[in-house]
Amino acid sequence: MSTSDLAATVHPIDPQAGLLRELAELITGALNLELPAGEIDPDARLYGEGLGLDSIDILEIALVVSKHYGVQLRADDAEHAQIFRSLRHLAEYVAAHRAK
Amino acid sequence: MVGFAAALLSGRVSLLPPTHTPEVVRRLAAFAPDVFCLSDAAGGDIDLPQLRYPQCAGDAPALWPVPRIECERTVAFVFTSGSSGVPVPHRKTWGRLVQCIRAGAVRLGLEGRPHALLATVPPQHMYGFESSVLLPMLSGGALCAERPFYPADICAQLASLPAPRALLCTPIHLRVLLESQADLPRSDLLLSATAPLAQALALEAERRFHGPLMEIYGSTETGQLAIRRTARESAWRLWPAVELSRAGGRTWARGGHLEQPTPLGDELEILADGRFHLHGRLADQVNIAGKRSSLAYLTQQLTGIEGVLDGAFFFPGPARADELGVTRVAAAAVAPSLDAAHILKALRERIDPVFLPRPLLLIERLPRNSTGKLPAQALRALLADPLRRPA
């Protein structure tokens, strides 16, 4: 990865940055993760490898997302397979569908 | 259900493993060398011969005669993860299963009133096998082929079923459903098992789903044994012919569908009228989301990882009978040459993800006392120790 690529991924005016941080905090809070919210790699896989979450965790995340943003996750949604690929994918989905 | 029925009719035995970790799959193949995996999705990473359904389904006649199945026939082995690491098979014969489920159908009020059932739990563990496969099959009901996951999916699917309809779930699903913003449809019956449900949650569930919530108590060894309407009663009512007794410091169940007296893995208080109170698991037992293990087994898996010099799994807090949500297990490991990611990856190959430690603490030495034992209290104190290596 070149320096300019790296700069692009952590660009300070990333429009999702606030939402990413907020989601990371909601997730670490809901799941009692040891990890400080700031240390979740926004591009790491949430399931299995990476953050190592399981299906119970995914249900908990679906719950905080519905409470906080009014977004109901649906498995039959065409975008569903992408949502939990990473925190960034989740943030993009929430940003596109949030009701509050 | 289709797979189980096909196995029944073709004289095969269904194997129901608790997980599909590579290690468990290897053990299954050793247990039954002719085992194959019936699947309705692309093969995945299960290293067994695969038979895809419905690719193998031929034309079916419009009407099948009801088959007669010998009572003594072994129709399934349900596995628990044993303390030595080898999955333990529990043999199930058709007659005993039918006897148990029919007794349950009477207690649930399903006799003569078949329901359409929606299940949120997989059919491979005992509760799912009994309640989502056998119960509809033996009480004239129907099982919805979909197994929805998210609250919104569960509600939409439930609303689409004809009445009377029942929802089969767990305390986790119930809590998530009640807390979510989803519109809850009427459910004429709610079933929950795998962990005790708090009465407040049961009351709320009955109010919002407009139906009674019945909690089922059982185990893989014994099958389903008792029931309670948690919103109205705290004691459990046994299946009609089942009895409890105390011997050797444990509670044993006998009679009814039980082939022999069987010890239970929980602390029970037997009441004078035969009902009982449940006081939680025995010390070493771990039960998360219907999956069972023991601290001893999990610890053995941890210390079996190359580079882990010492280690232990423990409960992060004291056990409580009426917990909302999930109690995870924690672990501490002495492994100077490894990082947490490496240990978690190795554990993921050996144990079900629900048992992965949360948190995993990397420490310099375990707080063993002078006899080499690890007091639970000392392990818990590690969680509050700011000097440990961050995982």
Starting at the edge strand found earlier in the chain, the sheet holding B87-93 runs B14-16, B74-81, B87-93
Chain A residues whose beta carbon lies within 8 Å of the beta carbon of residue B289: 56
In a domain, A2, yes or no: no
Each residue of B177-188: pLDDT tens digit? 998 877 899 999
| pLDDT interval class at B317 (50, 70, 90) | confident
The answer to whether B196 and B215 have CB atoms below 8 angstroms apart is yes
pTM over 0.80: no
pLDDT at residue B320 in the model = 46
CATH topology of domain B286-383: GMP Synthetase; Chain A, domain 3 (3.30.300)
> Is CATH 3.40.50.12780 the right assignment for the domain spanning B2-59+69-281?
yes
Alpha-carbon distance of A99 to B213, in angstroms, equals 32
CATH label of the domain that carries residue A29 = 1.10.1200.10
CB contact (8 A) between residue A34 and residue B358:
yes
Question: Bigger pLDDT: B292 or B366?
Answer: B366
Task: Return residue ranges of chain B for CATH 3.40.50.12780.
Answer: 2-59+69-281
Question: Given A32, A55, A74, which is nearest B152 (Cβ)?
Answer: A74
pLDDT band, residue B260 (cuts 50/70/90): very high
In the predicted model, what is the mean pLDDT of residues B154-164?
96
pLDDT per residue as tens digits for the range B198-237 = 888 899 999 999 999 999 999 999 999 999 999 999 999 9
A1 domain residue, yes or no: no
Q: Which residues of A touch B390 (CB under 8 A)?
A: 34
pLDDT of residue A43: 87
pLDDT value of position B321: 39
Q: What's the pLDDT at A47?
A: 74
Among A80-94, B103-117, B278-292, the least confident range: B278-292
Of B150, B328, B354, nearest to A75 by CB-CB distance is: B150
Residues in chain A with CB shorter than 8 Å from the CB of B358 are 31-34
- Judged by CB atoms closer than 8 Å, whether chains meet at B353 and A52 is answered as yes
The secondary structure of B350-383 as a DSSP string is HS-GGGS-SSEEE-SS----TTS---HHHHHHHH
Q: Above 60 in pLDDT, residue B388?
A: no
Specify the pLDDT at position B292.
76
Q: Does A33 touch chain B (CB under 8 A)?
A: yes
**pLDDT tens sequence across A13-29:** 566 788 999 999 888 87
With beta carbons less than 8 A apart as the criterion, state whether B85 and B21 touch: no
Per-chain mean pLDDT for chain B: 87
Average pLDDT for B246-256: 93
Does pLDDT of B112 surpass 50?
yes
Q: For residue A52, what pLDDT is reported?
A: 66
Query: Is pLDDT larger for residue B165 or for residue B384?
Result: B165
Domain range enclosing A42: 15-97
**Which residues make up the CATH 3.30.300.30 domain(s) of chain B?**
286-383
Number of structural domains, chain A? 1
pLDDT band at A2 (very low <50, low <70, confident <90, very high): very low
- Say whether pLDDT at B238 is over 90: yes
Q: Say what the pLDDT of residue A18 is.
A: 87
Q: Is residue A4 part of a domain?
A: no
